[in-house]
């Protein structure tokens, strides 16, 4: 094995500057420009939300709606897609009892 060409010509580089961090293999989109299909689906869902529930378009720009969206994204990341959305959302009377 000492006369093998591969081991003589190619030194093994183990310096940290040449190694990729594990997080580089799992990149996540940082902006909506990187995920146009997801952005399109969200836009269509917002249109449907406003049309079906007769809500103003401006309602999706509110901080309350955005907080709800964040919580739903977190729930989806935690629970996956197998959970029924209607099981997650509280009944309107539950919401009214929790208003402070």
pLDDT number for residue 95: 94
- For the record, the structure tokens of 26 come out as 């799992």
Alpha carbons 78 and 73: distance in angstroms, whole number: 9
DSSP code of 53?
Answer: T
For residues 69 and 89, give the distance between their C-alpha atoms in angstroms, rounded to a whole number: 12
Q: Is the dihedral of CA 90, 95, 97, 100 positive or negative?
A: positive
> For the whole prediction, is pTM greater than 0.85?
no
Per-residue pLDDT of the chain (100 residues; tens, 9 = 90+): 666 666 555 555 555 566 666 655 555 655 556 688 989 999 999 999 999 999 999 999 999 999 999 999 999 889 887 888 888 899 999 999 999 8
pLDDT for residue 84: 87
pLDDT attached to residue 81: 79
Per-residue model confidence (pLDDT) at position 82? 80
């Amino acid at each position: 094995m000492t006369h093998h060409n591969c081991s003589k010509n190619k030194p093994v580089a183990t310096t940290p500057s040449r190694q990729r961090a594990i997080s580089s293999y799992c990149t996540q989109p940082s902006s909506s420009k990187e995920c146009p299909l997801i952005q399109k689906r969200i836009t269509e869902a917002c249109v449907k939300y406003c049309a079906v529930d007769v809500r103003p378009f401006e309602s999706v720009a509110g901080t309350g709606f955005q907080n709800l969206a964040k919580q739903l994204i977190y729930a989806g990341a935690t629970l996956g897609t197998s959970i029924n959305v209607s099981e997650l959302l509280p009944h309107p009377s539950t919401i009214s009892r929790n208003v402070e």
